Copies of this chain bind each other. A is one copy, B any other.
Amino acid sequence: MNLLLLERAEIDPLGRARVRERRAEHLIGVLRIRVGDELRIGVIGGPMGTATVAQVANDRVDLEVRLLASSPPPPDVELILAVPRPKALSRVVQHAAALGVRRLDLVNAWRVEKSYFASPRLDLPALRHHALLGCEQGSTTWLPEIRVHQLLLPFLMNVLGPRLAQAPSPRCLLAHPESEQYVEEAAPIGPGEATVVAIGPEGGWITEELASFTELGFVPVALGRGVLRVEAAVTALLAQLELCRRVSARKSSDGGFGCP
* A229 in contact with B98 (CB, 8 Å): yes
* B223 in contact with A184 (CB, 8 Å): no
* B229 in contact with A184 (CB, 8 Å): no
Give the B-binding residues of A (Cβ under 8 A): 2, 91, 94-95, 98-100, 137-140, 182-185, 188-190, 223-229, 231-232, 235-240, 242-244, 246-248, 250-251, 256-260
Q: How far is the CA of A251 from the CA of B259 in the complex (A)?
A: 8
Known: A235-B232, A239-B240. A184 touches B227 (CB 8 A): no
- For this chain, the copies found in one complex come to 2
Q: How far is the CA of A214 from the CA of B2 in the complex (A)?
A: 25
* A224 in contact with B184 (CB, 8 Å): no
CB of A115, distance to nearest CB on chain B (Å): 16
Q: How far is the CA of A140 from the CA of B46 in the complex (A)?
A: 44
* B228 in contact with A137 (CB, 8 Å): yes
Q: List 9 A-B contacts (CB under 8 A).
A: A99-B228, A100-B224, A138-B224, A138-B226, A184-B246, A184-B259, A228-B235, A231-B231, A236-B238
